[in-house]
């Protein structure tokens, strides 16, 4: 049996950052994502979000890839949301997402950060938060040069 402990902080948003995840449905969606993940042996340690995005702390398994986890979580949950007509229009997740590794010593801080999304987004819009994640991780967005 392999002994693996790789923690990852996933962040993804709704298509065009539309505020689909209202107070009325957000907890249902997050609970469903957690339950569905269990059936696929994806260990979600902590999950929360806001009207237009989700944060998830996941422990990566030995046979899992980041891409597979995102496909399983995002694909199944959007299908479930649409099947159950939780939104007035067709629900979709944005294609892009952010993932960063988390050290064992930072787990409590990341859990707290994820837990406080509602409070955090009273003063910081998601776009600014996402750009900050990208910047701190050393990513640069490519500028569209198509004219």
The whole-angstrom separation of Cα 65 and Cα 86 is 29
Give domain status of residue 108, yes or no: yes
Give domain status of residue 127, yes or no: yes
**Number of independent structural domains in the chain:** 1
Give domain status of residue 35, yes or no: yes
Residue span of the structural domain in which 33 resides: 7-136
CATH of the domain at 46: 3.30.70.1290
Give domain status of residue 145, yes or no: no
Give domain status of residue 130, yes or no: yes
Return the higher-pLDDT residue of 144 and 43. 43
The whole-angstrom separation of Cα 102 and Cα 7 is 5
69-127 tens-digit pLDDT: 999 999 999 999 999 999 999 999 999 999 999 999 999 999 999 999 888 677 777 77
Cβ atoms of residues 49 and 130 within 8 Å: no
Cβ atoms of residues 42 and 56 within 8 Å: no
Enter the pTM of the model: 0.84
Give domain status of residue 132, yes or no: yes
The whole-angstrom separation of Cα 23 and Cα 38 is 24
Give domain status of residue 13, yes or no: yes
C-alpha distances (whole Å) from 75 to each of 57, 65, 86, 144 are: 18, 15, 15, 28
> What pLDDT is stored for residue 140 in this prediction?
72
6-23 tens-digit pLDDT: 999 999 999 999 999 999
Structure tokens that stand for 88 in this block: 């007035």
**Where do the H-state alpha helices sit in the chain?**
26-39, 66-70, 76-83, 107-115, 117-120, 126-136
Task: Quickly state the pLDDT bin for 28 (edges 50, 70, 90).
Answer: very high
> What pLDDT is stored for residue 130 in this prediction?
74
Residue with tokens 């107070």: 23
Give domain status of residue 144, yes or no: no
């Amino acid at each position: 049996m392999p002994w693996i402990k790789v923690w990852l902080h996933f962040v993804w948003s709704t298509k065009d950052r539309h505020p689909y995840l209202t107070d009325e449905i957000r907890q249902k969606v997050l609970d469903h994502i957690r339950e569905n993940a269990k059936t696929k042996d994806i260990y979600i340690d902590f999950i929360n979000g806001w009207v237009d995005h989700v944060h998830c702390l996941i422990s990566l398994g030995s046979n899992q890839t980041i891409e597979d986890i995102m496909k399983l979580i995002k694909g199944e949950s959007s299908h479930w949301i649409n099947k159950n007509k939780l939104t007035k229009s067709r629900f979709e997740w944005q294609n892009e997402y952010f993932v960063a590794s988390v050290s064992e010593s930072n787990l409590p801080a990341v859990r707290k950060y994820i837990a406080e999304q509602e409070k955090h987004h009273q003063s910081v819009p998601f776009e600014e938060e996402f750009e900050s994640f990208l910047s701190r991780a050393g990513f640069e967005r490519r500028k569209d040069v198509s004219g």
